[in-house]
Structure 1
């Protein structure tokens, strides 16, 4: 079997049906072979950032590693932002990057470079294959490594001449994926500590959603009557948003996290990569002396940034189920705690609803009202792919999604991810409507992804919140009280003028567009996405920073 044939046999055996890529000369052997592979669809992206983002969304929807093909050093460099997002969000990807012909690599030919060195910091592992006979083994290892906790992207650099060698290679059989590990030890001690607490709290990390253990965590929280917070900037639904015990997301600042956790006398932290603060504040995120039970699949997470009383490493679902059994009937006050939490959280949610509805008539739309209109219009079973910094934070306060997988975000921070991720997610789970909520600045980073949506007729609604500025940066400067806030002059933070014409941008890529000028129009437009048969861009003019320099269509000089 020739090397290129071995590559295709392996990806088929790993369950791959789509190849996400942008080709160049080093990928021609693969492109040529795919001409005879009717069972493998090539999903073309116009830039590698979009390619990797599509694969990221697809892998999350299918819960399998996605397969990516990138072109030489420049393609790897363009794709690094997507690899970084996948690395931080624990998305399994196998990325094959074409290297220049080995026969003249010593001459530093055009397009060549250190692909492994480029990718090393943004992947779980990176390797360049030097012998055709090693290619099948390296690929098998890459697929296994991509899903092994902590999951993430793995890059394999393949010189183009290697794929065209005439020698025979042997494809090793595929081993079954490793079964989930056993439940962690120490469950009895953890149950004792948590049951004895008067004010327990649970922190739901993104590992819970990835492990399919949301229901198991709910059982533990209900037996304790414990308040539950999502980790800062959570990437998914790790606890039902409408549950009476759910108190929302922890803010991404250590001082604020510490202030919240100081209310409790014990904490269970599950599947959470530290707390990943955004803005620096002095001190640790955890109050001194707080007894913590930390559970994770990855032993490196235990006690990573703070001391824990008990560290449990093992399968999240199995461990949580065993913990729930141990806690059953041991906390008689759990029901009263849950009822008190329901009343408190009900008041808080009602207050947010009232503020949002009070702003429904603002023109351009208030960010909270825009977020509320999106949440109110979502069809049953819809998936929200969110990359909207200002509106996105408001959206988190009004979303009440209970179904796992119905909210998708990346904690990686590499902008331009949202458009591609939404496309890939709908491809991977075509039965669920997908609404991508995008900031105008974020959308500009990944705009070329719209072409792929049009080419493959992927019915995603791209909701672009247009405030004509980087408002979150202005707000941050305001908090600091520096010259920008004092004088109302923000350098490099305005996108208007000139005004971005989103309808024209959609038409450029062959996508329909509409403009929602009110909260009611936005709610109705989002509700209609259940019937989409082609991609649609919905522009939403949103009020800007109080400086007045930018506010959607009303932006002035």
Structure 2
């Protein structure tokens, strides 16, 4: 079997039916082989940033590693932001880049470079394939590593002449790996949690990735413990309308510490170190709190704060066993649930009232605009969020219960939203996708609209258009002292007049409309339930919200 044939065979056996890529000369042997492979589709993106974002969205939608083909050093460099996002969000990807022909690498040919060195800081693991007989083994290894906790992207540099070799290689059989089992320490965890007077849970994105939302609900109800999502969570890790759901923790150590200080025992599940955004002095967890931590990654428990008990194992399996161990042990659980329900219902009602009070003509208050979007969401919609300032307001009124209904990247590399929405629509075509995007974020990933049009993605792109980098202005205002505040924001305005995203969409072949009223915006979003192709909605919003 030739090396390139072995590559295709591994892809098929690993369940790959789509290759996300942007091709170049060093990938021509692979493209030639794909021409005869009707069962594997090449999904084209016109920029590598969009390519990796599409693969990320597709992997999350399908629950399987996505396969990415990039072009030599330049293409890999363009895709690095997406790989950084995938690493932070624990998305399994297998990524290849074609290296220049080895027979003239010594001459430093065009576009050649240290691909492994370039990728190393952005991915979980790298392989520099130098021998044809190693390619099948390393591909198998890459797919295994991509899903092994902590999941993430794995990179292989593959010289073009290696793929073109007419030599026989051996293909190792695919291995079947058992999922992680129940962590040790469940009995002790149950004792510590059942003895808490004011218990709380932090639901990390590992819960959603492991399909363990129902099991976490059972643990929370057995304790009567309020549940916070991790800061800027990437998915639905606890139902948003559940009486115990207390919202997401803010991405600041000081604010996290203030919230957790109200509790004596905190159970942290599948959460990567809180990842604060702006610096505030002091730890995220106060010394007075007893912490029980569960993660599938053995490096997490005790990583950034001391724990009374750290457990490593399968999140879903361990939570199920813990729920059994806690059943009937906390007599006050029902009282706690009732008290939390009243408090959280009042908070949600206040958020809705503030949004409704801000309704008005265009340009819209951003809180009112996102509220109008939420009001139109189809029941089975997937929300892709990359809106920064409007995104924070969106989360205050967004209450998603169904696992897999939210896609975000805590990685922070801008430009992922459009591509992620396209990839998710490909992976779950039966569910409508509504992407809520900032105008600045959209400009970083605008090329993804080309793929949305080409593949007829069932996605509605809602661009919150304020014509500026609003989040940076707000952060700069907070950082400046009153004595030095000038009201001048160098480099933070996108245009002297508001950008027209309908024209950008039409250039790429995506139908577009501009929202003229909030009722119309709700109606437009509701129509995303129809099995149609992509649509972009340009939503003019004000710079400041009347409610922060």
TM category, shorter: over 0.9
2:105 equivalent to 1:98: no
- The Cα of 1:371 is off from its aligned counterpart by 1.2
- In the TM superposition, 1:405-420 aligns within 5 A as 405-420=404-419
Stretches of structure 1 that go unaligned for 5 or more consecutive residues are 548-557
- In the TM superposition, 1:275-314 aligns within 5 A as 275-314=274-313
Aligned to 1:391: 390
- The Cα of 1:483 is off from its aligned counterpart by 7.4
* SS of the residue 1:300 aligns to: coil
Aligned to 1:247: 246
- In the TM superposition, 1:171-186 aligns within 5 A as 171-176=171-176, 178-186=177-185
2:74 equivalent to 1:74: yes
Aligned to 1:544: 543
Cα distance in 2, alignment partners of residues 310 and 334 from structure 1? 22
Indicate if the aligned counterparts of 2:366 and 2:545 stay in contact, CA closer than 8 A: no
Aligned to 2:42: 42
Stretches of structure 2 that go unaligned for 5 or more consecutive residues are none
**Compared CA separation, residues 375 and 485, structure 1 to 2 (3 A):** farther
* SS of the residue 2:529 aligns to: helix
- The Cα of 1:363 is off from its aligned counterpart by 2.9
* SS of the residue 2:293 aligns to: strand
Aligned length: 546
Aligned to 2:107: 107
Aligned to 2:142: 142
Cα distance in 2, alignment partners of residues 39 and 307 from structure 1? 50
- The Cα of 1:477 is off from its aligned counterpart by 1.1
Aligned to 2:196: 197
Aligned to 1:269: 268
Aligned to 1:528: 527
**Compared CA separation, residues 389 and 485, structure 1 to 2 (3 A):** farther
Indicate if the aligned counterparts of 2:414 and 2:441 stay in contact, CA closer than 8 A: yes
Aligned to 1:478: 477
2:231 equivalent to 1:232: yes
Q: Could you tell me the TM-score, scaled by structure 1's length?
A: 0.97
**Compared CA separation, residues 45 and 436, structure 1 to 2 (3 A):** same
Query: For residues 390-418 of structure 1, what are the alpha-carbon distances to aligned partners after superposition, in whole Å with 9 as ceiling and x for unaligned?
Result: 11001111111100000110000000000
Q: Could you tell me the TM-score, scaled by structure 2's length?
A: 0.98
Query: For residues 363-410 of structure 1, what are the alpha-carbon distances to aligned partners after superposition, in whole Å with 9 as ceiling and x for unaligned?
Result: 311111111111111001100000000110011111111000001100
Cα distance in 2, alignment partners of residues 222 and 293 from structure 1? 17
- The Cα of 1:428 is off from its aligned counterpart by 0.3
Cα distance in 1, alignment partners of residues 204 and 481 from structure 2? 35
2:48 equivalent to 1:65: no
Indicate if the aligned counterparts of 1:422 and 1:434 stay in contact, CA closer than 8 A: yes
- In the TM superposition, 1:349-428 aligns within 5 A as 349-428=348-427
Cα distance in 1, alignment partners of residues 362 and 510 from structure 2? 26
Indicate if the aligned counterparts of 2:365 and 2:544 stay in contact, CA closer than 8 A: no
Cα distance in 2, alignment partners of residues 37 and 299 from structure 1? 40
- The Cα of 1:482 is off from its aligned counterpart by 4.0
Indicate if the aligned counterparts of 1:478 and 1:484 stay in contact, CA closer than 8 A: no
Aligned to 1:124: 124
Cα distance in 1, alignment partners of residues 373 and 182 from structure 2? 40
Indicate if the aligned counterparts of 2:500 and 2:538 stay in contact, CA closer than 8 A: no
Aligned to 1:497: 496
* SS of the residue 2:211 aligns to: coil
Indicate if the aligned counterparts of 2:365 and 2:545 stay in contact, CA closer than 8 A: no
- The Cα of 1:181 is off from its aligned counterpart by 1.9
Cα distance in 1, alignment partners of residues 56 and 331 from structure 2? 44
Aligned to 1:23: 23
Query: For residues 255-297 of structure 1, what are the alpha-carbon distances to aligned partners after superposition, in whole Å with 9 as ceiling and x for unaligned?
Result: 0000000100100000000110001000000011310100001
* SS of the residue 1:437 aligns to: strand
Two-structure CA RMSD over aligned residues (Å):
1.2
Cα distance in 2, alignment partners of residues 219 and 10 from structure 1? 39
Indicate if the aligned counterparts of 1:477 and 1:485 stay in contact, CA closer than 8 A: no
Cα distance in 1, alignment partners of residues 172 and 479 from structure 2? 59
- The Cα of 1:185 is off from its aligned counterpart by 1.2
Cα distance in 2, alignment partners of residues 156 and 481 from structure 1? 46
* SS of the residue 2:172 aligns to: coil
2:507 equivalent to 1:508: yes
* SS of the residue 2:516 aligns to: coil
- The Cα of 1:484 is off from its aligned counterpart by 10
Query: For residues 304-336 of structure 1, what are the alpha-carbon distances to aligned partners after superposition, in whole Å with 9 as ceiling and x for unaligned?
Result: 000000011111111111111111111111001
Aligned to 1:439: 438
Cα distance in 2, alignment partners of residues 485 and 403 from structure 1? 47
